[in-house]
């Protein structure tokens, strides 16, 4: 099975890190390579431009692809989304000059929009029943309204800083994007695809969880259970020769501090909190 991943840019390193954490360790690294084998003899990683990855998958060059949702939508390949990997977050927005006379979407009827995302832009304006001419550009999109090439732009943004620096103001959000795992429809249910998806998902599920271990008086066990906000209740084990029990539970990272405070108040001791590498629910 072949997985296509970004070969460079801001998505490259986080994607390789996720594969490593999921156990798909690359053999001989990835520098200046078109592909790399992994420790799983059935899985090969292909390196491609993020924007080309949907086509790689749709055409059969790869079985799975990791790229932005915006790239998949722009490609119009209709792949199956298996997993939101929750990084590379961004938005595609409609923006206009802050000192211009466009205040709403309707004001752009009959105007021109510059964008690197013509397919997404066309679909959006068709849906809104607003007639515009679309000019495809390959860079410096923010410049086009200031040199009379366009009345507005459809562009990608993370924080909005670049728009503000170029005296542009967002008037509509068109699409919210993040990096996702995609498959062709004919392989989406294959066992190996499910195995890879589960491995990646287990890393994501573990990111905001912590494994908590403690000792507690046996007669306080019910109170301890009420305090622990575990996934499905804690695991409890007797401690030989004592009236204590060992309690293990998975706790959301954001609740660790208050949970420890509450546990100590009901007699828990020897509390240990560790990170979780992978979690399969």
The 3-state secondary structure of 162-216 reads: HHHHCCEEEEEEEEEECEEEEECCCCCCCHHHHHHHHHHHHHHHHHCEEEEEEEE
Same domain, 17 and 120: no
Domain end (from 161, 186, 205): 205
Res 29: pLDDT: 64
Same domain, 170 and 195: no
Res 31: pLDDT: 62
Give the total number of structural domains in the chain.
3
pLDDT at 183 over 70: yes
In a domain, 280, yes or no: no
pTM of the model: 0.86
Residues β-bridged to residue 246: 215, 237
Location of structure tokens 């679309």: 134
Instruction: Return the closest-CA partner of residue 179 out of 77, 25, 50, 20.
Output: 50
Pairwise CA distance, residues 34 & 47, whole Å: 5
Res 30: pLDDT: 59
For residue 254, give its domain range: 209-275
Instruction: Give the chain's mean pLDDT.
Output: 92
Structure tokens at 182: 């995609």
CATH code of residue 97? 3.40.190.10
In a domain, 71, yes or no: yes
Same domain, 182 and 219: no
| pLDDT grade for 89, boundaries at 50, 70 and 90 | very high
Count other C-beta atoms under 10 Å from residue 200's C-beta.
24
In a domain, 281, yes or no: no
Q: In the chain, pLDDT over 70 holds for what percent of residues?
A: 97
Residues β-bridged to residue 84: 180
């Amino acid at each position: 099975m072949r997985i296509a991943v970004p070969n460079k840019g801001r998505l490259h390193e986080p994607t390789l890190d996720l594969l490593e954490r999921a156990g798909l360790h690359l053999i001989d690294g990835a520098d200046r390579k078109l592909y790399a084998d992994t420790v799983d003899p059935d899985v090969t990683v292909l390196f491609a431009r993020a924007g080309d990855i949907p086509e790689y998958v749709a055409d059969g060059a790869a079985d799975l692809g990791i790229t932005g949702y915006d790239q998949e939508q722009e490609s119009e390949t209709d792949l199956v989304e298996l997993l939101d990997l929750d990084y590379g977050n961004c938005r595609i927005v409609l923006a206009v000059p802050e000192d211009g006379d466009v205040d709403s979407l309707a004001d752009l009827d009959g105007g021109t929009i510059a964008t690197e995302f013509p397919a997404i832009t066309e679909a959006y304006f068709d849906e809104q029943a607003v007639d515009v001419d679309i000019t495809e550009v390959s860079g410096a999109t923010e410049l086009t309204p200031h040199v009379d090439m366009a009345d507005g732009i459809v562009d990608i943004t993370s924080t909005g800083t670049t728009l503000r620096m170029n005296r542009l103001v967002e008037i509509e959000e068109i699409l919210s994007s993040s990096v996702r795992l995609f498959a062709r429809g004919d392989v989406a249910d294959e066992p190996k695809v499910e195995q890879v998806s589960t491995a990646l998902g287990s890393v994501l599920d573990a990111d905001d969880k912590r494994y908590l271990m403690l000792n507690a008086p046996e007669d306080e066990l019910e109170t301890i259970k009420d305090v622990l906000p575990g996934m499905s209740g804690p695991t409890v084990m007797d401690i030989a020769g004592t009236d204590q029990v060992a309690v293990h539970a998975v706790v959301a990272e954001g609740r660790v501090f208050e949970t420890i405070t509450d546990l100590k108040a009901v007699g828990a001791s020897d509390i240990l909190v560790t990170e979780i590498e992978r979690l399969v629910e």
